[in-house]
Amino acid sequence: MTRPRDLPYGESGLEFRWHKRRWWCREAGCPRRSFSEQIPQIPAGARLTARLRDTAGRRIRDAGSTVIQAARDLHLSWPTVMEAFRTPATSPRHLCRRSQSWASTRPAADGRAGNRMRRPASGA
């Protein structure tokens, strides 16, 4: 059983318990004889969920919070939050939001800044 930490739920904490299955390899030449269950949100050996790490990084990147304030709010250590800030986010929602913001600040084909719509030519 593992207990990875996840985002807090309201003012009370949330305890996540995962009873992982373990498999054994029957091949004699296998360097890893046993394997435990894992999912992308909680990789093998992780003590935090990907959602908690991404939120810690986003608090600094997008919300303008300091590392120490994000660490206090999420009950994490300073090095853990700083590492989450330095590594890229794995959340697809965050990546989509970033690509949209880049598109809106790109210069238009005629050199004007921004993403402006052209007015249709009047027939009169």
Model confidence at 96: pLDDT above 50? no
Please report, as a single letter, which amino acid is at residue 78.
Answer: W
> Domain total for the chain?
1
Average confidence (pLDDT) over 56-60: 93
Asked whether residue 38 is assigned to any structural domain, the reply reads yes
Domain presence at residue 3: no
Boundaries of domain holding 52: 22-101
Tokens of 50: 């990907």
* Mean pLDDT calculated for residue range 43-58: 90
pLDDT at 12: 74
- Return d(Cα 56, Cα 82) in angstroms, integer: 8
- pLDDT for the residue 105: 44
Is residue 1 assigned to a domain? no
Q: Please report whether residue 35 resides in a domain.
A: yes
Backbone phi and psi for residue 42, each to the nearest 5 degrees, phi listed first: -135, 90
